Amino acid sequence: MIKLEKISKFYQVGDEQVTALQDISFPIEKGKLTIILGPSGSGKSTLLNILGGMDQSTAGKFLFEGENVTQFDDHQLTDYRRKVVGFVSQFYNLVPSLTALENVAIAARLTANDHRAEEYLAKVGLKQRLNNFPSQMSGGEMQRVSIARALSKKPEMLLCDEPTGALDTKTSLRIMKILQEVAKTSKTAVIVVTHNPSFERYGDCIVRLRDGRVESIKRNPVPSEIGEDVK
Ligand code: ADP
Ligand code: MG
């Protein structure tokens, strides 16, 4: 079980206290796509970084499988980041001198005769691009490599911060479809942060943030299928 209970995050900027998050509470389900929606500055990245163990909250509890991550020491946090979390950002952060296959294999510490890197790339529809370098791929393809790389760690949570931020609409939908499938076919909790309200219908659960607070939580009984025509 993954659960946030009254998570708050404050920053001290000079004499002023900036509230990035205030009393955020909601559960996160494995095998589901959770979309965190909100305008710029609403606290989305701060929240994602707390979920990923990259930042700690000022107050409240973050429970992961019965453990309170907010009380983890540095060693436990490092362990948590390595074993639990996969991260995808709008910047693909691929190593330019490595092929798609190598980018995935290196991150997962796989040896050359291990075929799992290939399997993860096949999962995101890139079987034909294994030996391409980042400079030989489109933005959407690079993002798919970065998703395959994150999946190769077998994360329990896949955190995606504006994963389609640099992509056109059609490519963005392709990425959302892949993330929808990842959530459905693995036991991973997929969490996508976006400022684009048109993605809302693809999520199982939609959490709207405004000024650091939860504005609404909506569950889609049956999220929209992103059409097969999106290639
Ligand atoms: P979003 O990702 O939704 O755009 P952020 O989580 O980046 O929002 O930021 C939420 C709020 O917290 C903003 O008002 C931002 O200015 C503030 N903030 C974020 N990081 C810091 C920081 N390191 N120091 C001071 N204020 C910060
Ligand atoms: Mg952000």
Kindly compute the dihedral angle of the four CA atoms of residues 155, 74, 67, 208, in this order, to the nearest 10 degrees: -60
What residues of the chain score a pLDDT lower than 70? 112-113, 228-231
Domains: count for the chain: 1
Atom 10 of ligand 1: nearest residue by CA position: 43
What amino acid is encoded at 184 in this protein? K
- Residue 141, pLDDT score: 96
The structure's pTM equals 0.94
CB 99 within 8 A of CB 132: yes
Q: Is the CB of 46 under 6 A from ligand 1?
A: yes
Q: Is the CB of 38 under 6 A from ligand 1?
A: yes
Q: Which CATH number belongs to the domain containing residue 132 in this structure?
A: 3.40.50.300
Atom 26 of ligand 1: nearest residue by CA position: 11
Q: Is the CB of 31 under 6 A from ligand 1?
A: no
- Residue 178, pLDDT score: 94
CA atoms within 13 A on the CB side of 100: 29
Atom 15 of ligand 1: nearest residue by CA position: 41
- Residue 227, pLDDT score: 78
| Ligand 1 centroid from CA 47, angstroms | 10
- Residue 230, pLDDT score: 67
- Which residues constitute the domain of residue 47? 2-230
Structure tokens at 83: 């074993």
